Each structure stands twice: as structure tokens, then as C-alpha cells.
Structure 1
Amino acid sequence: MSLPDPVHPGAEAVPHLVVRSHPVEGVAKHLLDHLPADGALAWVRRGDGQVGWGVAARLDVAGSNRFATAQEWWRALTAAAVVRDDVGVPGSGLVCFGSFGFTDQDPAGLVVPEVIVGRRGRTTWVTTISPASSLAAPPELTVNDPAPVGEIAFADGARSGTEWSAIVADAVERITSGEVDKVVLARDLVAQSDQPIDLRWPLKRLASAYPNCWTFSVDGLIGATPELLVRREKGLITSRVLAGTIRRTGDDAHDLALAASLARSSKDLEEHEFAVRSVAEALEPHCKSMNVPETPFVLHLPNVMHLASDVAGVAANGASALGLAAALHPSAAVCGTPTSVARDLIAEVEGMSRGRFSGPVGWMDASGDGEWCIALRCGQADPDDPTRMRLFAGAGIVAGSDPDAELAETNAKLVPMRDALGI
């Protein structure tokens, strides 16, 4: 049963915030080093990005209007805020972090932290955000070391590997019969520690091992995703589409041969074409012009290689980064084609709630610019048990899919989080 749509918040529902961004020196080489023990907000890539802590304002939403509700709340919040931005780069000034679950019933919301430490190139800054009635003093930045997570035991989540492979085989039969063209099926793994998990530990390991990915932390959802759902920056819209995966072996010569086979694989090229087409069709109404590559390139990551395409366009209207993310979600890369049929099939056979996995996660500033990625290669901390996390991975299923190969693909995609939780 669907949840009722929430009432859209008006201007009276938002706090009046005072925001100040100013350049600073002495910021640590790794922004994540500044997160305190209760810090939970991060967005970093190649050393740039921002981390935050505290809560100056937040919105929790659900229902079919969740994206529209969030955008309306953000417009009201930014209109009521007093902002002094002495930095003037993307990510300075008033910023929110956010994550949205895969379905309308999954958790979603926006968070405005009290403190943000950011870096972009050679520019570093601190932003303080507080109610107008109690102005915040600039924080003293410290370097904080996370605690190791202790001994970790991994166990099957909703489905065992064998059960999940059987579901894939059934999906292939449905695709062959013409019921659906492509469906993305996910599985989960439970990580259990013998002590509370300090999220800063896996975050730092993810950022170090996967510098070309976007390492994120929002509301207990952490990960390092390679897939940029959408970026809007000064009128330019970009999206990186990934679909088609092969596991690396660690042997450079062999991996080059595997990359070449991936680039020629009819099964993977078909899966990739579905994903690119869905992104291009969703962005087209919002772009004056678009560049959609005819052929993908192979993106090399430490654990896997993906077929990748960078779609770019010039903005034609005032759609915010979050509005563009809403138009794109769920893309064929996380759901399937046709979308409605694939979504129904996922609900029927997956046997679990994805929660925030495979939904948009990212940040946005007061102008509507920002970055939203797809929450992949990630884990969700259990809000009721600090020693437990759920890890997620999925695979795109098309007519040529082999269940054992797809299971192996999900195992490869679980490697980043499994390794990040290690000692």
C-alpha cells in the first residue's frame, strides 16, 4: 500500500538561517579527517568536495510527491536565508545534502548541516549555518581519528546466492518471452561487527581506494559510487551512465583483454544502450542541445570495469539539479526497460526493500546547482543497531544474461564495502 503524500511545506515551515562562508587555511589534506565522531555528511572526490556535521535544518519526505516537496521546501528555505559568501565557488554558501530511496515508500530527505568544510582546487573554506536567533561562532577545526570497526562477519541478506541466481534465471525467461526488455535485480549482504561501527573508518578507506568515485555519507548511507546521475553547474548538465560490467583480475595484460571483450560484448552493449537511451530521453526536455556518445568507453576501477558514456547538455530551463535527478530516477541503469514493467517485476521478485540503495544521493546549493549520484557500492547503517550494516549490489539482466555470471558480478560490486569494513 502506498504511503499518503505529505503536505507541501510553505515558507512558514522553514527556519530563517544565517549562512557565512569564508576562506580558511590549515584544512587537512583529507577533508574526512575533520569529521567528528557524530559527523555523518560527506561528499568527496579526488580530494575535493565538502564534509559537514550538525543539523541546522532537515526535511524528511515520502510519497509520490517527495521530489517536488523537497524542492519546494528548499526554495522556501533559501528565500528566507541571509547568506554571506566570501568564497563564491560551487559548494560554498547555503548547501544541503540529500538522499532519496529507490521507491516512493523508502526513506528520503534533505539535511542542512551546521558546519561545512569544503575544498575545490586550491580554495578551501568553512561555512557556518545557524538560526538567525543564535548566530554560530566559527568552529575550531581539528583532526579526528576514527575507530577501527573490529571483527566483521558477513551473512546473506534477504536471499542466498543460489536463491538470487534462480530469480535471475526466471527474469531471463520473462525477458525472452517479451514481458520486459531489461530488469535490474539487487541483493543485500549483512555485515555484523563485534562493536559499534564508526562510519568514518570505512568512509576514509573508500575515499583512499576509489579516488575517482564519489564517496558519500548521508543519514547513515555510505559508499563510493562511480555513477554520476546528474550535475548542474552554471548552465551545463552532465550525466555519466554505467551499464555493462566485468570483474578485474589484477593481471594488467589480462584485464586489457577483458576490457576489449567487454567493449565488444553484445549482451553488455545492449544493456548499456538501454541505460543511455533512458538518460537522454529524460534530459532532452531540459536541454537546448545535447551530446550523446554513439559508443561507450571502458571505465577502469580497482575492482571492476564498466562500459561508460558521458551525456552532456546545455540547460534550457531553470530545473535544479534535484529536479533533474527526479526526472532521471529511476533510470534503466537501476530499474530496467520499460520502467513501469521493470519496477513491478522488481517489487514482485527481489524480496527486500532497497531503502536508499540505487536512489539519488548528493548535494545542492541555493542556486540549484549541485551533484546527484546513484547510491551504488554502498551500505546502510542500521539505525537500531550500531554494530550492523546492510551492503547492496545489483546487476542488469537482459536476454543474454547468465545467472552465475550475474551473481559473480554482484560479488565484485560488493568488494568496495567489504574491504572498507576490514582492518
Structure 2
Amino acid sequence: MTSVSLPTTARTEPATGTLALANLPDARAEDILCWIRGGDGLIGWGEVTRFEVTGRDRFVRAAQWWERVAASFEVDDQLGVPGGGPVAFASFSFEDAETSVVVVPRVVFGVRDGRGFVTTIGGPAPRPSQAPMRSPGPLGWSDGQVSGDGYKAAVADAVAAIRGGAFQKVVLARDVVATAEAPLDVRPLLARLADRYPQCWTYAVDGMIGATPEMLVRRQDDQIFSRVLAGTGWRGGAERAGTENPDDAVADFLRGSEKNTEEHEYAAASAARALEPYCADLDVPERPSALRLANVVHLATDITGRLSRPVSVVELAGALHPTAAVCGTPTEAAGDYIRARGGLDRDRYAGPIGWMDAAGNGELGIALRCARVTGSTARLYAGGGIVADSVPENELEETYAKLAALRDALENA
């Protein structure tokens, strides 16, 4: 849909203020755009144009479409900071057959290293209608496509397939559904996620909202960064580790757990293999670190590199997706198993999500700790990597720990 004739102008100029989500319009969840972390990032509203695409080549086609659209703008960028000039927000599907979307906002407010700016397309920025943020009120909860018992059964089946030699790892997921009495206002939900999970990237694109701890790929000129997460612990398991500090206990448990370190090694190796053909230099730490969040602790590997040739952040995401962190190892066999036996329509859960600029720079995380919000309904997703030593009851408990991020934000927004 196009609401402003193209080509047109894109103007970025200094602005004061912070990334206050209350300044976004009280609009449908699908109309809110957001990518923030630790006070930096972008929030947008309005829609200049959008592109919806399916198929295995969706990343290439999306990159080509955005390149054409971005080239059509007459750009006046007074700052030259990352995120300045025309930008697009994108949310890609996990599977080829599902729909991915790229949205070009009418207005973007951004903060980068304490410097505020605003980008407008097609003339002066319209001010959003100010309305107080609304609580969701009482919520009803129900199982989605995969119940808790169904998830345990799926894990047991996957373990049997792994021990039978079908693959080394597969990522399974389940969903729960929250229903409110009125259309959900995602602004307080996003504000709570950003406040409680400052190490994560809080996002909203076309109704897909959440706070992801995992950066699939960031590109800034010839520099790239990817944060790989796999292997999860939570404080409920700290007592089994036998130490007094819960976070340290969980981190020590993860580092000493063959199941979790094996899961992580598959994920880090798959990301490195995907990035290597594009890089002149690639640095992959030998051992993971521990990323401590409010609800869980993850094993994390931060990969950095220097590109050997220009390639857009969207094309890099297409080369990486799906990593072993969200699919499995080997990728093709695990993906086939997910489609045949996973029992869940993933939609855009576990797909790349984020933003990109006219030069092909940007940040695309993985849509985790997320919900698809439509009207008064929120569908929450969580999953985990299954390997030969996985225990169904423990894997189900892990999904509860991951679902807590969105569930708590909804119930206390």
C-alpha cells in the first residue's frame, strides 16, 4: 500500500528528546514500528509504502525492492548518523511459504549515542495524536497450536529421531494465546520490555513485537556483528547447581553442561559458516560467554567480521537464516522435521526482524521472546534446541521461562 507518491523527499534533522514510546500514536499494533536498545534506536509511524513477499528468494527480492525505493528519494541528511536518512523496517517469515513484510515509515524518531534526530518523508512531520497508554485489562489465557503436553511429546519424538541418526539438533517451539477485552495497546508492553530487558533489542514491526537477545546480523559499512545464543538456564535450576548466587550458578551450570555446550557449538558454527564467504576477516571466540537477562541466562558467542565486498544487511540475513539456533543441524534435515512434525505454524516467529538504511546498513535480530498481536489477541511463542540428551520436562520448563518475558509484560503493562 502506498500513501505518499514516490519518488519524494527524505529529510533528517536534529531533534531533542528521548525514545519515549508514549509519543507513538495510539494505533493498531500493526502500525507501530520500533527498534530500541539501551536508549538508542528508532521508533516510527505512518506508512509511505510496503512490500510483501514469499519464497526462498524473499531476502534478495526485499533487498532489491528497498534499493529501488531508497534510490528514488531526494535525501537531505544533516547528521549522517546510523539510522539517519530513509529507513525501512522488516519482519521476515521463518518458512519460505509464509509472508514477509518491509515497511517504509512516514516519520522516524531516532537517538544514536545521545543525539536525537527525526526523519520525515514527503514533507513536514505530522504529530501523532497523543493518547494515554492503555492497560490491557483482564487477560484470558489458552493453549495455542502446541500444548504443554504436546510439546513434551514432540521433544521425546525428536530425541528418538536424533538418537536414531536423523540429525544432531532440532529446534522445537510452542505457543500460548492471550485474549483481552479490547484491542491491545502495545506501547506500554514495549515500554516494559525495553525497561526490563535493556540488553535486548525491543522491536515492533507489523504486529510482531518482542525483545530479542539475539542479533542475527548488524552491518555498518564493512563491519559486521552477529550474536549467537544457544544453551539456556534459569534461576529455578540454580539450586541444582549447588551455589548461592543464582546467576553465577546458572552460568557455571551451562558451561559445564554437555547438552548446552553441544547445542551452542552447533549454533555458533552454523553462523560462522554462513558469514565466512562474505568476509575478509572473521573473529569467532573459542568459548562462549554468559549473557544474563532478567528471566534466563544464555550461552553467547559474539562474532565480528569485515566484509570482503559490499553486501546488504538483508542479503546477509538471508545467508544466515535459519541458523542452528532456531532450526537445527544439519539445517535441511532439521527444517524438514520441523515442517513435518513440529506441529506449529511459526509465521514470523524466529525470523529476521529489524531495520535497514539506504546504504544497506542496518540491524536484523531474530524474532524471539515475541508475540504476534492482532486486535485484542496476542500469540506468544517460545522454544528450545533439542539434542540427544534433552529431557522433555526440562525443555517444557525452559519454554515457560522464556514465555515469562512477554507474559509478565502483558499482565503488568
Instruction: Say which of 281, 284, 302 aligns to 1:292.
Output: 284
Alignment of 1:128-277 (within 5 A): 128-130=120-122, 136-140=123-127, 144-249=131-236, 253-277=245-269
CA distance in 1, matches of 2:41, 2:353: 14
Matched, 1:393 2:385: no
Contact 2:170 2:387 in 1 (8 A): yes
The Cα shift of 1:144 comes to 4.8
Matched, 1:56 2:45: no
Contact 1:51 1:117 in 2 (8 A): yes
Structure 1 counterpart SS, 2:44 = strand
Provide Cα deviations, 1:351-380, integer angstroms capped at 9, x if missing partner: 121001000001000010100000000000
CA distance in 1, matches of 2:192, 2:219: 28
Alignment of 1:59-70 (within 5 A): 59-70=51-62
Q: What TM-score does the superposition give when structure 1 sets the normalisation length?
A: 0.92
CA distance in 2, matches of 1:255, 1:365: 37
Q: How many residues are matched? A: 400
CA distance in 1, matches of 2:181, 2:15: 39
CA distance in 2, matches of 1:296, 1:271: 12
CA distance in 1, matches of 2:322, 2:20: 31
Contact 2:255 2:261 in 1 (8 A): yes
Contact 2:19 2:109 in 1 (8 A): no
CA distance in 1, matches of 2:320, 2:217: 8
Alignment of 1:346-385 (within 5 A): 346-382=338-374
Instruction: Say which of 387, 397, 416 aligns to 2:405.
Output: 416
Structure 2 counterpart SS, 1:138 = coil
2:13 equivalent in structure 1: 22
CA distance in 1, matches of 2:131, 2:406: 22
The Cα shift of 1:32 comes to 1.5
The Cα shift of 1:146 comes to 1.4
Structure 2 counterpart SS, 1:421 = helix
Contact 2:251 2:297 in 1 (8 A): yes
| RMSD across aligned positions (CA) | 1.5
The Cα shift of 1:141 comes to 7.0
Matched, 1:101 2:93: yes
1:405 equivalent in structure 2: 394
Q: What TM-score does the superposition give when structure 2 sets the normalisation length?
A: 0.94
**How many percent of aligned residue pairs carry the same amino acid?**
48
Structure 2 counterpart SS, 1:15 = coil
Contact 2:92 2:352 in 1 (8 A): yes
CA distance in 1, matches of 2:382, 2:148: 12
The Cα shift of 1:143 comes to 6.1
1:79 equivalent in structure 2: 71
2:333 equivalent in structure 1: 341
Structure 1 counterpart SS, 2:333 = helix
Contact 1:381 1:388 in 2 (8 A): yes
The Cα shift of 1:88 comes to 0.7
The Cα shift of 1:195 comes to 1.8
Structure 2 counterpart SS, 1:312 = strand
> Would the alpha carbon gap of residues 152 and 349 (structure 1) be closer, same or farther in structure 2, given more than 3 Å must change?
same
Matched, 1:312 2:304: yes
Contact 1:91 1:365 in 2 (8 A): yes
CA distance in 2, matches of 1:369, 1:345: 34
Provide Cα deviations, 1:16-60, integer angstroms capped at 9, x if missing partner: 1310000012x2x34312211124100000011010000011101
Any unmatched runs of 5+ in structure 1?
Answer: 1-13, 131-135
Contact 1:51 1:116 in 2 (8 A): yes
Which segments of structure 1 move beyond 4 Å, counting only runs of 4 or more? 140-144, 249-252
1:9 equivalent in structure 2: none
Any unmatched runs of 5+ in structure 2?
Answer: none
Matched, 1:32 2:21: yes
